[in-house]
Copies of this chain bind each other. A is one copy, B any other.
Amino acid sequence: MKKIKTEYDLKVEFYDLDPMEVVWHGNYLKYIEAARCDMLEKIGYTYEDMKNDNTAYPVATMDLKYIKPAFFGQKLRVESTLESVEPALIISYIIKDSKTGEKIFKARSMQIRIDSTTKESLYTAHEKFLKKIEEY
């Protein structure tokens, strides 16, 4: 499988900050979720498509590594890499300062596909998703 890579830009907002005046550590999960949705939109298989296919991708594991703090107004770039789609959807992320390229944060998420009705785990991707990845 080819490793799809996408980029997502964002800016640190005031409401993301904690009393140390840096991004509160939990908010990075928002940044990488936004980047993941953006990747899926670029591939052409979105949350809406998943719903239509009666499937969902709940997060199973997540590894987070905080390298440097991020500050108010800082422009960040999330580089996402689609590592695998079967047996599970694995995406890795690096967040960098948009200007300097300095690394801020790294993460890796694993999501396991389920049948939305039965809640059963599925270890293969929907053929539409695979086709969209192939076409990308």
Contacts and interface: CB of A to CB of B under 8 A. Distances in A.
Interface of A: 13-15, 17-22, 24-26, 29-30, 33-34, 37, 41, 46-48, 56, 58-66, 69, 72-73
Given A13-B34, A61-B66, A63-B63, A29 B19 contact: no
Contacts of A66: 58-62
Contacts of A19: 14, 17-19, 21, 72
26 contacts: A13-B30, A13-B34, A13-B37, A14-B18, A14-B19, A14-B33, A14-B34, A14-B37, A14-B47, A17-B18, A18-B18, A19-B19, A20-B56, A22-B58, A26-B30, A29-B29, A46-B73, A47-B72, A58-B66, A59-B66, A60-B65, A60-B66, A61-B64, A61-B65, A61-B66, A64-B64
Counting every copy of the chain, the complex holds 4
